[in-house]
Structure 1
Amino acid sequence: MDFLDRNINFNALLKFSHISHSTQQHLKRVYSSFAVCMLVAAAGAYVNVVLQLLQGSFLSFAGSLGMMIWLMCTPHSQETEKKRLGMLAGFAFFSGVGLGPVLNLCISINPSIIPTAFLGTSVIFICFSLSALYAQRRSFLFLGGILLSALSLLLLSSLVNIFIGSVLLFKMHMYIGLLVMCGFVLFDTQLIIEKAEHGDKDYVWHCVDLFLDFITIFRKLMVILAMNEKEKKKERK
């Protein structure tokens, strides 16, 4: 067959003609910083789970929130670039520490949940990121209002569920929340492109947006897999 003889032009696949060269360079810095954040977050998770030096969830929350506020209040410039990168690393570290309770839960149920959830999160993040990069500019920005409204409803449902304690509502919250965060990957990626095209080259803060999307998807996927594995174990008994 002729279609089997056709060569795939991978260079053409990696070209984003609708994105300017300066924005493409900006995206490279964003994703490079994102990769570093993942390594630092992994170190934070290791400290919590293995070394058990920082067990308080409040400490990790306060640390990550403090780093984010500090980063937000520090203006983007060449003079503050290294300082802001240090804040970004601190934020990633405390975010990794904050994953400790969920990681410990997965380890107690089935340790294989963690690599499975990480692989699933990576596939989801890459696919939705590429979809946003290859799609027409601004085509997914309409999702902003819908996603924020859905996020508000999820927050409200979680507050209500504190008093109700419904397992079904919790499961719905997890699955719908996972879908909403996939939408945020599309939205945030295209929003970063638009901001960069209009002169906003704060790659450190743009990295925070994508990092939060990844961590949230990873957390929700671990909880979903842990719930399913726990139910399977109950059925076997």
Structure 2
Amino acid sequence: MNVFDRNINFDALFKLSQISQSTQVHLKNVYSSLAVCMFVAAAGSYVHVVTRLFQGGLLSLLCSLGMMFWLAMTPHSSETEKKRLGILAGFAFFTGVGLGPTMDFVIAINPSIIVTAFLGTSIIFLCFTLSALYAKRRSYLFLGGTLMSGLSLLFLMSIMNMFLGSAMLFKAHTYLGLIIMCGFVLFDTQLIIEKAENGDKDYIWHCVDLFLDFITIFRELMVILAMNDKVTAFIYEMF
């Protein structure tokens, strides 16, 4: 039999039988909000890099944290939905502004890295998201403890490097951070599914988890590509 003559059942391919219909609707809301956050964050980065109306730094970080705290303190309900979406947009905007200094550093080396990093982040995020969606329910929730331990290790490495100033330690921190955040995409996606199955339909706050995962992967990937591009340019100049 010719394998190309077989009919492919695309309905079965995209059917998430282990996830209830209400949770699938919830996930659509989460990812729709995530897409909007990406556009708003891009606008925030544009404001820093091009217009310079707002500068990324301590102030933008404090504004971003303030928005996230405000969102967490505002209860989820139909009456507060529009307000919380506005807060979410503000959080995404200031997060995008906060990416500005990193983007300035990358642009000084090679502006095309930003596009490459975004495409790479999108592919990584999509692959790990699909892995979490199609895997057996709760199969990645065991990663929670390991990932939190990894974050603690990254924090200790950051503190150590403040005194050591080691390029190797910084590089190890960056690569390890990328691996840990990929794990968080798996963990957070399945955790959102479990919360939704148990009645937690706060898609706005669930969007924050995935948005932070995406932004962190994007930042780490930009830095890694910039470092590699710099090393490549140095080797090229030598030879």
- TM bucket (normalised to shorter chain) is over 0.9
1:106 corresponds in structure 2 to: 106
Shift of 1:7: 2.6
Q: What residue identity is the alignment partner of 1:42?
A: A
Q: What is the number of equivalent residue pairs in this alignment?
A: 237
1:121 and 2:125 are equivalent in the alignment: no
Shift of 1:56: 4.1
Deviates more, 1:49-58 or 1:220-229: 49-58
2:223 corresponds in structure 1 to: 223
2:19 corresponds in structure 1 to: 19
Distance, in Å, in 2 between the alignment partners of 1:7 and 1:176 is 43
Query: Residues 135-187 of structure 1, C-alpha deviation per residue, up to 9 Å, x if partnerless?
Result: 00000000000000011001111110010011111111111110000000000
Query: Residues 5-51 of structure 1, C-alpha deviation per residue, up to 9 Å, x if partnerless?
Result: 22322222111000000000000000000000000000000000000
1:73 corresponds in structure 2 to: 73
Distance, in Å, in 2 between the alignment partners of 1:81 and 1:217 is 28
1:138 corresponds in structure 2 to: 138
1:64 corresponds in structure 2 to: 64
Distance, in Å, in 1 between the alignment partners of 2:211 and 2:221 is 15
Uncovered stretches (5+) of structure 1, i.e. residues with no partner: none
Q: Which runs of 4+ in 1 moved over 4 A?
A: none
TM-score normalised by the chain length of structure 2:
0.98
CA RMSD of aligned residues (A): 0.8
1:233 corresponds in structure 2 to: 233
TM-score normalised by the chain length of structure 1:
0.98
Q: What residue identity is the alignment partner of 1:162?
A: M
1:43 and 2:55 are equivalent in the alignment: no
2:92 corresponds in structure 1 to: 92
Deviates more, 1:172-181 or 1:56-65: 56-65
Distance, in Å, in 1 between the alignment partners of 2:9 and 2:47 is 44
Q: What residue identity is the alignment partner of 1:181?
A: M
